[in-house]
Amino acid sequence: MCSTVAQEVEVVAEEEIQDCPSETAKSEITPKQIASNDPQNSTIQKTDDIPSCAPPVIPIQTNSDTYNGAEREKYSWSQTIMELDVIVKLPPGIKSSKNLKVAINSGDICVACVNGEIIIKDTLPYKIKTIDSFWSISEGRLLMHFEKVQERWWNKFLNSEEPIDLSKIDCSRPLDELPEDHIAKVRELQWNQEQKLRGLPTSDEIRNMDILKKAWNAPGSPFKGKEFDPSVLSKSNIS
């Protein structure tokens, strides 16, 4: 039998069901279809590639059910940096959620038939947010969605399964998922690249020039009162 310690959230795509027995209170939310992860990646390409270096190759993954995940005997799973989606193959006798018991905890999961037959029962390699997790049944499959506690790539969904090679997954992220300071830095890099292609100064060069202009007329400067000429400073540094 499955037991639950943490709070469990369930979503059923078909008819209303009775909650899976639990030691704690369970909340029920409205039905929701789990969307497969197919993130659109925002990448920046450098135009001044070094000939001796090959550009990185992003793995091509055509099956959204196993995107950055794997196909296993009883289930398949996919992931983004923050989410997990799992599809479990149900026995033919499971026609509705009334025939199923699902227990979701922060560190383990249990899926079983009401007669006690265990479909999946194992611990997770990392923690999930149980309050943001839900499940539904569709076309003889159990669809489960989980939110990760930490931003990280999982090399397996259950501890008992064989790990995947994380070097072969698509680790890129949509630009709008990055922190604001990271987005600003990416925008700056894009702008600097365009400036270089046009033969114009980059943001660092502009900032340095502003500093030189302030120092040019600073008290005690030998250039104070003269027309600003950065080439003079360059010659002074060389000599």
Residue pLDDT, tens place only, 78-102: 999 999 999 999 998 888 889 999 9
Q: Is the pTM of this model over 0.75?
A: no
Whether residues 20 and 132 share a domain: the answer is yes
Q: In terms of C-beta density within 10 A (0-12 exposed, 13-18 middle, 19 or more buried), how is residue 50 classed?
A: exposed
Domain boundary among 151, 170, 189: 170
Q: How would residue 74 be classed by pLDDT, with cut points 50, 70 and 90?
A: very high
Fill in the amino acid letter for 41. N
Rounded to 5°, angle at Cα 174 from 138 and 87:
20
Q: What is the mean pLDDT of the chain?
A: 76
Residue 76 has pLDDT above 90, yes or no: yes
First to last CA, the chain: 83
CATH number of the domain residue 165 falls in: 2.60.40.790
Q: Give the CB-side neighbour count of residue 199, counting CA atoms within 13 A.
A: 0
**Could you list the residue range(s) of the whole structural domain that residue 206 is in?**
180-238
Pairing of strands 27-28, 9-10: parallel
Is residue 185 a part of any domain in this protein? yes
Q: Say how far apart CA 154 and CA 125 lie, in whole Å.
A: 8
Whether residues 122 and 186 share a domain: the answer is no
Whether residues 89 and 127 share a domain: the answer is yes
Fill in the amino acid letter for 239. S
- Are 110 and 120 contacting, i.e. CB atoms less than 8 angstroms apart? yes
Is residue 75 a part of any domain in this protein? yes
Bigger pLDDT: 143 vs 54:
143
- Are 8 and 26 contacting, i.e. CB atoms less than 8 angstroms apart? yes
Whether residues 203 and 110 share a domain: the answer is no
Is residue 55 a part of any domain in this protein? no
Q: How would residue 8 be classed by pLDDT, with cut points 50, 70 and 90?
A: very low
Whether residues 143 and 186 share a domain: the answer is no
Whether residues 195 and 99 share a domain: the answer is no
Whether residues 111 and 150 share a domain: the answer is yes
Q: Say how far apart CA 105 and CA 2 lie, in whole Å.
A: 11
Whether residues 13 and 113 share a domain: the answer is yes
Whether residues 110 and 143 share a domain: the answer is yes
Domain boundary among 143, 170, 197: 170
- Tens-place pLDDT, residues 150-175: 999 999 999 999 999 998 888 776 66
- Are 112 and 101 contacting, i.e. CB atoms less than 8 angstroms apart? yes
Closest CA to 166 of 156, 174, 158: 156
Report the number of distinct structural domains present in the chain: 2
Domain boundary among 118, 143, 170: 170
Is residue 2 a part of any domain in this protein? no
Is residue 146 a part of any domain in this protein? yes
Q: Which residues pair with 89 in a beta bridge?
A: 141
Q: From the CB of residue 222, how many other CB atoms can be counted at a distance below 10 Å?
A: 8
Whether residues 208 and 157 share a domain: the answer is no
